[in-house]
Chains A and B, each alone.
Chain A
């Protein structure tokens, strides 16, 4: 990516926050991780997304209830990039589904712009781990889908398909079917499809987990660039701490069974970052030390489950 993306991509007038985001791109000079105090009530601005005491429990087939999520409270500011990190099975994907309105929590509230969420809405678009691209549609039609559901006019849809496909460098593949694309390209189609509905909040569920390292690095750069250009609020779930540090303004660490937010870390590294930078590695190490206990706990439970069978 040799060209300056700010010039290479025309920005439609309705993309808010571009100017504000540019400041963040310049980065703050502080290069260390700060452990934030758990904030019970936030301050001045109405948060973009607020989780207020979210709990979720399932009935298990044998003994009683499994508490998947317990009393999770989190706030995400407009334009913020939040990564949620935790061991496998800690409920971080489930949390995203709750924010997307695809599942119902047992108690607590999801608030977007201060209003409680009661179902799916195009203000929050989730990019699934398995992507969920529609194989019966072409790349262009996939990108168009959400806009069609929003009853956006044909001319405007056409314009936005072109814009977003260019944004993810897939203009040439508009008429391809998704199975003809590589993993990284499919990932970008999913991103374009989500962005095209112009959600305020982008929810990403381990989107790069299945990709090779080079492709993933490239997509990190692109995601950072797109985030800067579009000013979306992003909540990104991953089990990869380094990836989280590479991308996020703030990292929330989740615990295993019950899923809770154990700690939050503000990442003050300058952007653009790279996953191989020593600062990123060092910061990740600090968070990883906190995470290690949780990983061990999750493994112990899994082994115990094995034995019980």
Chain B
């Protein structure tokens, strides 16, 4: 049986069980929303555009926050990976900071930036920056030295050496870190959006809670899962596959 058909059957069964349990009325619908209720809520959400807006706002934040952390993380990681002094000092701090869930920054972020876009972006940044930095630092060290030497030998230096040689040479070693950074950033973003009025998916979820509308809560949860899954599948899987093909890491 093909993988896809297996998955379709699996999800049908899952929803079937969910429907049966809901039908049995063990719990009232406001505690255990039925699949048709969630479907209705999804439909309504897209009809009145609130879900479209939520998705757009959330994706925009993710894009900005994540791009920022990739750029900063690469610079920082490269610096830490290149200089022993930074590695011994800053390197340790970065690793220990990674154990801190980035949502812990929200009180400070709100204090510094107010209840604004900036506060949310800051939390996203803190969520994914460290993963990217640490990945880049590792990538810099794991990357075979020969590429840097060959690049310098062929006349590359400074920014061009970084952009044309060091960065592409380290990509296979940092792609998992980039992915992890995205996952952390995505979580941090939804968490941050749940804290205050922000128009994103996180707020839509909290709105469902405030209205005691568990259909909407579940509908938004499903949206968040699907979006994360699509990005992982489209962006990162494609990137990994391309890299593997080019580098010959798996038979192409």
Contact = CB atoms under 8 A, between A and B. Distances in A.
A136 B171 contact: yes
A180 B248 contact: yes
B238 interface: no
A149 B156 contact: yes
B155 A121 contact: yes
A122 interface: yes
A126 B153 contact: yes
Interface stretch (A83-91, A127-135, A213-221): A127-135
Most buried by A among B144, B155, B165: B155
Contacts of B4: none
Contacts of B160: 149
A120 B246 contact: no
A100 interface: yes
Q: Is the interface of B mostly helix, strand, loop or mixed?
A: helix
Contact of B154 (A130, A177, A197): A197
A128 B154 contact: no
Contact of B146 (A100, A130, A145, A178): A130
Contact of B153 (A100, A136, A148, A178): A100
B168 A134 contact: yes
B152 interface: yes
Given A134-B168, A135-B247, A179-B248, A197 B149 contact: no
Given A134-B169, A149-B160, A122 B155 contact: yes
Which of B153, B156, B168, B252 counts the most A-chain CB atoms under 10 A from its CB?
Answer: B153
Interface residues of A, number: 27
B153 A135 contact: no
B149 A136 contact: no
A102 interface: yes
Interface string A86-100: 000000000000001
A189 to B, nearest CB: 12
Contacts of B248: 135, 177-180
Contact of A120 (B152, B165, B169): B152
B64 interface: no
B150 interface: yes
B237 to A, nearest CB: 18
B246 A146 contact: no
A234 to B, nearest CB: 16
B32 interface: no
B150 A134 contact: yes
B147 A102 contact: no
A150 interface: yes
A153 to B, nearest CB: 16
Contacts of A180: 248, 252
B146 A132 contact: yes
A180 B149 CA distance: 23
Contact of A136 (B152, B156, B246): B246
A135 to B, nearest CB: 5
A178 B147 CA distance: 14
Given A134-B165, A134-B168, A150 B247 contact: no
A125 interface: yes
Given A102-B153, A128-B153, A179-B246, 4 more contacts: A102-B149, A120-B152, A136-B171, A150-B155
15 contacts: A102-B153, A120-B152, A132-B147, A132-B150, A135-B246, A137-B168, A146-B154, A146-B155, A149-B156, A149-B164, A177-B246, A177-B247, A177-B248, A179-B248, A193-B154
Interface of A: 100, 102, 120-122, 125-126, 128, 130-137, 145-146, 148-150, 177-180, 193, 197
